[in-house]
Amino acid sequence: MRRDGVSVTLAVGSAPWQKTLALSLLRAGMLRRVLGAGPYLEVLDPNGSGSLDVVKRFPIYHVVNRVLWGTWKRLPRKWRPPSPVMLTVLLQEQLCSPWIPPCDVFHGWMGQSLASLPLAKAQGASTLIENAGRHPGDFHRAPDEECDRFNIRKSERSPLLPIALVRRMEREYELSDRIVVPSTVAHGSFAKFGYAAKAVAVFPGVDEQFFSPLSQPARRTKFRVCFTGRVELAKGAGYLLQAWKQLRLPNAELVLAGEIRPEMRGLLATYADTSVRMAGFLPASELLRHYRESDLFVFPSVNEGLAQVLLETMASGLPVVATDLSGAGDCVTEGVEGFLTPARDVPRIAEAILWCYEHREETRAMGQAARARIESQFTLSHYNQRMIALYRSVAGGPA
């Protein structure tokens, strides 16, 4: 294993694009320590033999989480207090922050690193906070705006981040040396709040070996459009349903995969006919089959950084129709891997779906181009390489 002059401590979240980052750093000789936030909160160190050893485990974290979240979920919705996420965050930080070692770079996750950042800085580390989406000021505003547009009570909309967590995140942005965001759209969001110089866009990646097209895709007579994610206003599900009803395509189906949020009940009753199927939440293996059995992915979100489902579907060989607020502008070229539409533009969404419906061969070619785009720029390896280059940059090492 070669050695690198830059040492990195990871205290990142469980985002799917981060799943091989620690191993890439280990192979590069850059990994100092991992503070893992999985079900069993752990501290892991390189063992000198090319792998990681657990040096500390916190069973209490797993037990407390199960009790807190299990109790909360069992309460009737109308009696539920705010989610216990803040208690989880505070416990995690109390347990992990004393384990931050001297290193060149500390890489933390949004909302979970407020106590860790000053400790890392005191030991001379450059500090990064990774933020999965837009600035919380934008992230919070969008759902309320959508409620106003669709005349839905705000009490029915999807829950927002707790205000206490948002305040922690804002303090983390102030303390960190860099804010890692996933897209140009997310960078623009942070720039509006005064972080243009501090924010840096590092595009995520996807497991292209798991999310992959069939070697010989089946030829279907029914045209299937899919949507994946929480079926909620901020994901643009209302605009998709409006566009779909407007089209009334023969021998076509719209499949919505994901949790149906209460705010959508009225819109589903109004716009969803027998050609709309709700698949519910799908595990990864079923999600892959869902992609492979579809012809087109439509994602009209108004509130994203860079949606991971865009990369999953493109890796699976699907062309996409997505909005300019979904992050797709960084991975989709208009007319090549799919189509980009303005957010909330129902006629344009309908027009793009109709074109794909009427041009099946060209649509399949777009799906092949989407797969090629992932292979060339958006794999997990690409994300790891981009992060390693950033670590060397902030630590003053060679790029």
338-341 and 199-201 as β-strands: parallel, antiparallel, unpaired?
Answer: unpaired
User: At residue 104, does pLDDT exceed 70?
Assistant: yes
Mean pLDDT to the nearest integer, 84-93: 89
pLDDT for residue 153: 82
User: At residue 251, does pLDDT exceed 90?
Assistant: yes
111-120, 157-166, 193-202: the lowest-pLDDT one: 157-166
Q: What band does 161 get if pLDDT is binned at 50, 70 and 90?
A: confident
CB atoms near residue 150 (< 10 Å): 16
CB 285 within 8 A of CB 279: no
User: At residue 336, does pLDDT exceed 90?
Assistant: yes
User: At residue 363, does pLDDT exceed 50?
Assistant: yes
Q: What is the DSSP letter of 189?
A: H
Q: What band does 77 get if pLDDT is binned at 50, 70 and 90?
A: confident
Higher pLDDT pick, 66 / 218: 66
194 CA to centre of own chain: 23
Residues in the chain: 399
pLDDT tens-digit series, residues 25-62: 999 999 999 998 667 799 999 998 889 999 999 999 88
CB 265 within 8 A of CB 259: no
List the beta bridge partners of residue 34: 10, 44
pLDDT for residue 1: 41
CB 340 within 8 A of CB 350: no
Sole residue written with tokens 């992230």: 139
pTM of the model: 0.92
Rounded to 5 degrees, what are φ and ψ at 73?
A: -70, -25
Q: What band does 398 get if pLDDT is binned at 50, 70 and 90?
A: very low
List the domains of the chain with CATH numbers.
8-205+379-394 (3.40.50), 223-377 (3.40.50.2000)
Mean pLDDT to the nearest integer, 366-391: 97
Q: Per 3-state DSSP, what percentage of the chain is helix, strand, and coil (rounded to 5)?
A: 45, 20, 35
> Tokens representing 263?
């705010």
**Mean of all residue pLDDT scores within the chain:** 91
pLDDT tens-digit series, residues 108-123: 999 999 999 999 999 9
Rounded distance between C-alpha atoms, residue 108 and residue 114, angstroms: 9
Q: Which of 324, 322, 306 is nearest to 377 (CA)?
A: 306
pLDDT for residue 12: 81
Q: Which residues of 328-364 are buried (b: 16+ CB within 10 A; e: fewer)?
A: bbbbbeeeebbbbbebbbbebbbebbeebbeeeeebb
CB atoms near residue 251 (< 10 Å): 10
pLDDT for residue 37: 65
Name every residue whose Cβ is closer than 8 Å to that of residue 24 and which is 6 or more positions away in sequence.
Answer: 381, 384, 385, 388
Rounded distance between C-alpha atoms, residue 62 and residue 69, angstroms: 11
What is the helix (H) or strand (E) element at residue 44, kind and residue range? Answer: strand 41-46
Q: What band does 397 get if pLDDT is binned at 50, 70 and 90?
A: low
Q: Which of 202, 4, 189, 5 is nearest to 107 (CA)?
A: 202
List the beta bridge partners of residue 341: 323
Q: Which of 19, 58, 35, 70 is nearest to 387 (CA)?
A: 19
User: At residue 399, does pLDDT exceed 80?
Assistant: no
Q: What band does 154 get if pLDDT is binned at 50, 70 and 90?
A: confident
> Tokens representing 326?
């979904």
